Structure 1
Amino acid sequence: MVFLSKHSPITIPDIGVAELIFENRNNIPDDKPILLDAHSTRVITFGQFKQNVLQFAAGLQDHCDFQPGDVLAICAPNKVDYPVALLGAIAAGGTVSPANPAYTVKELTHQLSLAKAKVILCGQENVQVVLEAAEKCGLKKTNIFVFGEEAVQGVQPYSQVLLFGRRLPAPVKISNPSDQLSYMCFSSGTTGLSKGVMSTHANINSGILQTDTVLAPHMRASKDRILGVIPFFHIFGLVVNVHMSLFWGLPMTVMSKFDLPLFCNVVQTNKISFSCLVPPILVLLAKHPIVDQYDLSSLRTVVSGAAPLSSDLANDVRTRLPHCRVIQGYGLTETSPVVTIGDLNHPVEGSSGILVPNMSVKIVNEEGQEVGTNERGELWCKGPNIMKGYINNPEATADCLDAEGYFHTGDIAIVDEQGNFSIVDRIKELIKYKGFQVPPAELEGILLTSPMVADCAVIGVYDAAQATELPRAYVVLQPATQQSPVVAKELIDYVSTKVVQYKRLRGGIRFVDAVPKSPSGKLLRRVIKDWVKDEEKITRTEAKL
């Protein structure tokens, strides 16, 4: 059975991403502030933004011999002028590969070499890592630039080099938007090194216009203000924060990283009304006492993404911030990024929403059969937003893109009779207990409803004696709760009362100071599994002594 979007089909223009933004469909005046710095008084108007983009593009051409198809890597925290570099390289006909600024030299070298980056723009905080990675890739220092106004370790500020010359009259026209790459984000994956996702101009334009169709009717051009706090190097922040702000013409206040007091202060001071957030931030908004010290009544809409949002957590946020509507979206780097977005008129608890325009999907069970409503299976997606493939990795591309053009997400979904999709887990993360499938996300959602729990993660731990995996929880307690065997038992019993017997936390509970997560908010279960391996090694060593 094929499920189709309830939205009417939309037309995806045959142009480049920068051309779409410069079309200015929403008639944004040049003097309107569009980018604001949360850490200073710096403001960039829409007119200044366009001028800087075209100067940046010309500067790349003149100083770096940047040609259509060349790659600019940006490895920096969020900056107020980060969008200038993004669109500047795109306007020059190039591709941008945003990188995690927390990368090690090895991780960054992997991305730079795979993307074949010709130019790098970094933050002042990570110049040394970038220099070492660039040297390993044979990239010359004169093609490395830094955000800010001062040179760092001989690396010149891009603003002092690339913005002092001519500017292009208009963005370079993209001759084949369905084939030419705009962005190359790297997917985190559950194991091994990350894969470079090739997103075409048509892919990103689709993501922009699909998101616009669902959210634009609820946006107020004269009043709404956006907060950009999730990482711009992640596809969620890149498209739904950066590009939607520029497309709609809504001022976006940019935070370099999440800090709860600053977040609350910016919302209060700048009257933020819309933000893309991730569940770990929503946990703080729901539970942290400092939130009560601020007036967050301007915050009308939150779109949660990058990780599952339980209905209980969404309810907790709405209870504390009754003026705020919290909806969930679902997508991946490979889908540019949206597949579903919640309906702001009729949000459904625990749901990731309905299909965006131009999407068709299948739900396929373990036997490879297409199933219908209220049945579990892997979600397969098809639409103009589906990536071109993984760079230099035809095997991985063939594994997830079939002959019909469906992308096999690896996520397990259920759809109800009204077309609301719920993502219940990932295939590779399901815990197999004596033949039963146990979704860790379900157990995490239950634990987070306990007033004793601040955060948590659940994994399967193999027990040789029983020849099966056992669900184990790693829990961060609220400050008022002390770690103890009694508390651990209370939490185990708490979960047991809410699940069938095979989903119980038979692997026990471990208390930790923090749950490992990516900058986008995804749980890094592989890191926890490494903890288990280290623990097992110690146990084996002690047994030999």
Structure 2
Amino acid sequence: MVIISKIPTIDEPETGIVQFLFANKYKIPENRPLLIDSLDTNRFLTFAQIKKLTLQFAAGLQDICKFGKGDVLAIFSPNQYDFFIPVYGAVAASGITTTVNPTYNIEELHYQLSQTKAKVLICHEDNIKVALAAGSQAGLNKTNIFVFGDKMVDNIHPFQSVLIGEREAVLEDLTSEQCKETIALLCFSSGTSGRSKGVMTTYFSHANLTSNITQYAAFDKNVFNSKESNRMLTVLPFYHSFGLLVNLNYGLHFGTPNYVLKRFDIFSFCKAVQDHKITFTTVVPPICLSIAKHDIVPNYDLTSLKSAYSGAAPLGPELWKETMSRLPNLKLRQLYGLTETSPVAMIQPENKMLPGSAGLLFPNMTAKIVDDDGNEVTKYGERGELLIKGPNIMKGYLNNPEASAESIDSDGYFHTGDIVLINEEEHFFIVDRKKELIKYKGFPVAPAEIESVLLSNPIIADCAVIGVYDNTQATEIIRAYVTLKDQSTASEEVGKSIMKFVAEKVVHYKQVRKIYFVAEIPRNPSGKILRRLLRDIAQLEIKKEDINKSKL
């Protein structure tokens, strides 16, 4: 069966994303602070300042960096209150922005710079040395590298002092068709099955972005609205599609003051909610775990926090209940989406939050659930892979037409790789994952990438990597099964050395958390790793470990 959204159809916008965000549909006061440094509230940008600085930045790119149509600007930084300026300044200059994980090492950053052919790089003082080294390897002109802030770092100028001048760029008018075809953002993704080289880059048109905001507005108008008493806290990273496209885009469109933290920690989170009377935030399950379990939470007044969305990974019913029991005024609602859906495809309705449900489908979207043979299921409650279609589905994967064709079929349906079922009211439930990706604290990790790193270690003959859910961290962790060339050398110390070997080559969320030595990696006759068998073995190992702990 084909599931059609129950929400009334929207008129899809026919304008560029910058024009859309600056149109001020909700009559936001021009002097309202909308982007605020949570730790230093004297650092903020009003709606008028955001517009002006974005267009000035765009002009600076054009005039100083000779940045033009289709050129790419990369942002390599943790959250900053003025993150919006370069993100949409590049788009306002008729270019494209790609956001990069600020903890990437030189090789990982170099890969993304090379793949996107970035012409300009904005970094942060925390990672400027990595930025300079990777930029040099990618052939990036050093004069086109800038830093956030107001001071020079390692002879690199802040973009504020170089690119912000008097002239304001003139926005390019785009036809309806151009909005659908012109790329605005390139966000990292691991695709539906991952690739050995690492991330793939998902590219979004202007229409993908404007449609998703409009879809959300038709679904849920109570969380984001133009009342100044509504205050949002951003702790999720802006380089990730969830933080970028929900916190930044939705917030600005509705005029919700957005208090920005550089990164999450439970102390800063609680203090910010208390001090700024935060009413809304976005979270992932590990953050929910901190709220539910940490001893310091009761020491703060968090009663202002009325609403939160949880995404990036499934939120278990028990943790959902525990989190709300700690914050009795909170309605914690799960949403579902992927980078490829720009990013939200469904949200739990406020008036019917079902434990474990991912919610209802956004307007202008259709979905199918198919079995292993590609046949549509015919009954409610039947499991199968979720296929979804709508104006918010990405254009494709950059430089990878094969992966794009595999992910989006000839009928326009995106194959999510998630196994779902729906009830008779058409609430979706994510019950498993067909694809091989591991979700560590919401970040996608391709097993093949970690296996490639492991196999570069001269002592390893074969390996396989899986994700195993850890209740104590509310996330999957990366577990590696390793066959040594000399199996007699297997030991706890060797396991630690292998984990250290991987840690030195990958970003933190891709690190192996557990090593198990095995005589042979299970494979089918064609050589494909039997990960399902390894996951079954892992569950038996977990039960055995739990029994041993209970005996202590």
Once residues 426 and 183 of structure 1 are traced to their aligned partners in structure 2, the CA distance between those partners, rounded to angstroms, is 27
Q: Where does residue 366 of structure 2 map in the other structure?
A: 360
User: Residue 217 of structure 1 aligns to which amino acid in structure 2?
Assistant: N
1:70 maps to: 71
- Whether the 8 Å contact between 1:373 and 1:417 is mirrored in structure 2 is yes
Partner amino acid, structure 2, of 1:405: G
Deviation of the 1:462 alpha carbon = 7.3
Equivalent position of 1:508 in the other structure: none
2:544 paired residue number: none
Determine the C-alpha separation between the residues in 2 that align with 1:430 and 1:144. Answer: 33
- 1:333 equivalenced with 2:301 (yes/no): no
In the other structure, the counterpart of 2:103 is 102
C-alpha contact (below 8 Å) 1:70/1:118 kept by paired residues: yes
User: 2:132 aligns to what SS in structure 1?
Assistant: helix
Mean CA deviation greater in 211-220 or 35-44: 211-220
Q: Is the 8 A contact 2:35 2:258 kept in 1?
A: yes
Shift of 1:215: 2.3
Taking the aligned partners of 1:225 and 1:430, their CA distance within structure 2 comes to 34
2:249 maps to 243
Partner of residue 213, structure 1: 218
1:178 pairs, out of 177, 180, 186, with: 180
Decide which of 165, 190, 199 is 1:188's aligned counterpart: 190
SS of 1:380 mapped into structure 2? strand
1:301 aligns with 2:284: no
Q: Write out aligned runs for 1:44-83 (5 A).
A: 44-83=45-84
* Residue identity (%): 43
Alignment-mate amino acid for residue 198 of structure 1? Y
Q: Which residue of 1 is the match for residue 396 of structure 2?
A: 389
- Alignment counterpart, residue 411 of structure 2, candidates 382, 404, 407: 404
Note the C-alpha offset of 1:460: 8.1
Cα distance in 1 for residues equivalent to 2:345 and 2:167: 40
Post-superposition offset of 1:520: 13
DSSP-derived class of the 1:379 partner = strand
2:9 alignment counterpart: 9
What residue identity is the alignment partner of 2:406?
D
The SS at the match of 1:178 is: helix
Cα displacement (A) at 1:112? 0.7
1:325–1:335 Cα change, 3 Å: same
What is the aligned partner in structure 1 of residue 205 from structure 2?
Answer: 200
Equivalent position SS for 1:90: helix
Instruction: Report the Cα distance in structure 2 between the residues aligned to 1:178 and 1:402, rounded to whole angstroms.
Output: 18
Letter in 2 for 1:12: E
* TM-score using structure 2 length: 0.80
* Deviation of the 1:219 alpha carbon: 4.0
In the alignment, the residues of structure 1 paired with residue 363 and residue 507 of structure 2 have an alpha-carbon distance, to the nearest angstrom, of 25
Q: CA separation in 1, counterparts of 2:376 and 2:426? A: 16
Distance 1:538 1:417, change over 3 A: closer
Contact kept in structure 2, 1:93 and 1:174, CA below 8 Å: no
CA change 1:59–1:537 in 2 (3 A) is: farther
Name the SS for the 1:77 alignment partner.
Answer: coil
- Provide the C-alpha distance between the structure 2 equivalents of 1:217 and 1:36, rounded to a whole number of angstroms: 22
**Alignment deviations for residues 51-83 of structure 1 (CA, whole Å, 9 cap, x no partner):** 111111111111101112111100100000001
1:346-377 deviations in Å (ceiling 9; x for gaps) = 11110010001111011111122111321111
SS at structure 2 position matched to 1:3: strand
Secondary structure at the aligned position of 1:217 is classed as coil
- Note if contact 2:279-2:307 (Cα within 8 Å) is conserved in structure 1: yes
SS in 2 for 1:353: strand
What secondary structure, in the 3-state scheme, does the structure 2 residue paired with 1:152 have? coil
Q: 8 Å contact 1:72–1:95 — kept in the other structure?
A: yes
Match of 2:427? 420
| 3-state SS in 2 of match to 1:96 | strand
Superposition deviation, residue 459 in structure 1: 7.3
Tell me, yes or no, if the aligned pair for 1:359 and 1:382 is still in contact at 8 Å: yes
Q: Secondary structure at the match of 1:134?
A: helix
The 1-side partners of 2:94 and 2:268 are apart by 37
| Post-superposition offset of 1:461 | 7.9
Q: Structure 1: how far apart are the matches of 2:240 and 2:20? A: 21
| Aligned residues of 2:286 and 2:473 also touching (Cα < 8 A) | no
Judge conservation of contact 1:206–1:385 (CA < 8 Å) in 2: yes
User: What is the DSSP-based 3-state SS (H/G/I as helix, E as strand, rest coil) of the residue aligned with 1:428?
Assistant: coil
Q: Residues 454 and 382 (structure 1 numbering): CA distance in 2 closer, same or farther, change over 3 Å? A: closer
The runs of 5 or more residues in structure 2 that have no matched partner are 439-465, 484-498, 522-552
Aligned to 2:456: none
Equivalent residue for 2:159? 158
User: Are 1:527 and 2:512 an aligned pair?
Assistant: yes
C-alpha separation between the residues in 2 aligned to 1:454 and 1:97?
A: 30
Check whether the contact 2:16–2:174 (CA below 8 A) recurs between aligned residues.
Answer: yes
Q: 1:463 deviation in Å?
A: 12
Matching residue's letter, 2:332: V
Structure 2 distance, partners of 1:165, 1:155, is 22
CA contact (8 A) 2:482 2:518 kept: no
Note closer, same or farther for the CA distance 1:145–1:537 as it changes in structure 2 (3 Å cut).
farther
Distance of aligned partners of 1:319 and 1:127 in 2 relative to their CA distance in 1, 3 Å threshold = same
Q: In the aligned structure 2, how far is the partner of 1:153 from the partner of 1:324?
A: 45
Aligned-CA RMSD value: 2.6
Cα 1:218–1:74 change in 2 (3 A) is closer
SS in 1 for 2:515: helix
* Maintained 8 Å contact 1:362/1:381: yes
Q: How far, CA to CA, are the matches of 2:67 and 2:11 in structure 1? A: 31
The CA distance in 2 between the partners of 1:146 and 1:458, in whole Å, is 33
Q: Distance in 2 between matches of 1:215 and 1:8?
A: 12
* TM-score using structure 1 length: 0.81
Q: Do the aligned partners of 2:37 and 2:81 also contact (CA within 8 Å) in 1?
A: yes
Q: In the aligned structure 1, how far is the partner of 2:265 from the partner of 2:479?
A: 32
Match of 1:92? 93
**Kept after mapping to 2: 8 A contact 1:59/1:165:** no
The one-letter code of the counterpart of 1:427 is: K
